[in-house]
Amino acid sequence: MRPTAKDLAEAAGLSLATVDRVLNDRPNVSPKAVRKVNEAIERIGFIRNPAAVSLARNKSYRFRFVLPTSGDLYLAELLHRVEEARLNMKGDLVDLDVVQIAIDDPHRVAKYLAAIDENEFDGIAMMAPESPQVRDAIGRLIERGVKFVQFLSGQEKLPTADFVGVDNYAAGATAAKIIGRFVGQRAGKVLIVAETMQSLDSIERRLGFDDVVNSQFSHLQCLPSIETHGDARRASQILQRVLENNQEVAAIYVLSSEARIPLEGAASFTDLQKITVVVHERTPFSERGLRDGNIDAVIAQDPGHAVRSAIRIMRARTDLREPHAAQDKIRIEVLLKENL
């Protein structure tokens, strides 16, 4: 039989009450008692029964995901995964919650964070926009005891908050490697499209992309980034101009999560099948593109995994445990038609 707290008390030569004090960091315990208990824990291999702990505490975890209001297919996918997780975790005393706010307005975001009641939530996972205001607001939220996860995006990493998501520099580098190897020896230009280059994510991806192209595929020439700002008409116009001025486009790299608008635009003026196309994130659109041959590769981070990982991290932090680094790292996936 597994040793219980009672066994532990006996092994430590102390009473159950003192053992309880040590186990739960209660006040009025002598250092000597702490030592004795810890030693006994090691000796008899005591592990708290998490089921009993959970039952006795009888409190549930309250977490909130804060996502943007604007977005397209990937956002829909994310919302879907959060909802899925919500239902799955309902039984495990995890109460999930999603709100969507205009994430590109740092002022409003900061205000939103300031208004969060620390007694209402144990943890917040958020796609945080880049801004000193927001960073400070996050800092204050953390000081009020709310666990914070930077979700998929945002900020030069805060040392006090956890981050869930991929290394965007590496993601960009991976895209570049694929484009370079797929295009082959022949020279050509690479068209790079983003929703916006304002975000740190885009900048990092572009950086990783350029570094690999310059060092390994210098026969390719990267064109300046095109920004769509989520506007289909505008995107289409710009793309037309650029594609007409550059006949030798050998590849297109869409570095934002939403590839539909730029690619549907580009498809009107060029044959995507003939050029190498790499985009980010798995969505119904990018999946179809892979199957059709319009997209050659997708660089993805599994949104379901990301959501679960964020939850695990918030739960661990709430319990004052360390998260399991390995399991919670998000991989940069490379999707081809063959391994969908």
Residues that bind its own copies (CB under 8 A): 2, 47-52, 54-55, 60, 84, 88, 90-93, 170-171, 173-174, 176-178, 181-182, 184-185, 208, 212, 296, 302, 304, 308, 324, 326-327, 331-339
Closest distance between DNA and the C-beta of residue 238, in Å? 58
| Least distance (Å) between residue 324 CB and DNA | 20
Q: How far is the CB of 281 from its own copies (least distance, A)?
A: 15
Smaller CB separation from DNA, 26 or 229: 26
Residue 308 interaction partner, one of its own copies, DNA, none, beta carbon < 5-8 Å per kind:
its own copies
Assigned token pair, 75 = 């956002």
174 binds, among DNA, its own copies, none (CB under 5 to 8 A by kind): its own copies
Q: In the complex, what is the shortest distance from the CB of residue 277 to its own copies, in angstroms, rounded to a whole number?
A: 13
| CA angle, residues 231, 235, 241, in degrees to nearest 5 | 160
Q: 44, 12 in Cβ contact below 8 A?
A: no
CA distance 262 to 252: 10
Token output for 192: 């790079």
Nearest to 230 by CA among 315, 103, 143, 127: 103
Least separation in angstroms between residue 4's CB and DNA is 3
CA distance 192 to 175: 11
Q: Which residues pair with 298 in a beta bridge?
A: 279, 335
Tokens describing residue 76: 């829909």
* 3-class DSSP state of 319: coil
Site residues for DNA per CB under 7 A? 1-2, 4-6, 13-18, 20-21, 23-24, 27-30, 32-33, 46-49, 52-53, 55-58
Q: Which is nearer to its own copies, 242 or 330 (CB)?
A: 330
Q: Residue 31: which residues within 8 A CB-CB, separation 6 or more? A: none
* Token pair listed for 268: 């009107």
276 CB contacts (<8 Å, ≥6 apart)?
Answer: 178, 179, 182, 183, 250, 251, 252, 296
CB of 43 to DNA, least distance (A): 15
Residue 93's binding partner, choosing from DNA, its own copies, none, with beta-carbon cut-off 5 to 8 A by kind?
its own copies
Binds 208: which of DNA, its own copies, none (CB < 5-8 Å by kind): its own copies
From the list DNA, its own copies, none, pick the one residue 14 interacts with, judged by a Cβ distance below 5 to 8 Å according to partner type: DNA
Find which of DNA, its own copies, none residue 232 binds, CB within 5 to 8 Å per kind. Answer: none
C-beta of residue 239 within 8 angstroms of C-beta of residue 266:
yes
Q: Which does 291 bind (CB under 5 to 8 A by kind): its own copies, DNA, none?
A: none
Residue 239 sits at φ, ψ, to 5 deg, of -60, -40
How far is it, in rounded angstroms, from Cα 197 to Cα 327?
Answer: 31
d(CA 19, CA 25): 10
Q: Between 32 and 186, name the residue whose CB sits nearer to its own copies.
A: 186
Shortest distance (Å) from residue 147 CB to DNA: 17
Closer residue to DNA (CB): 47 or 187: 47
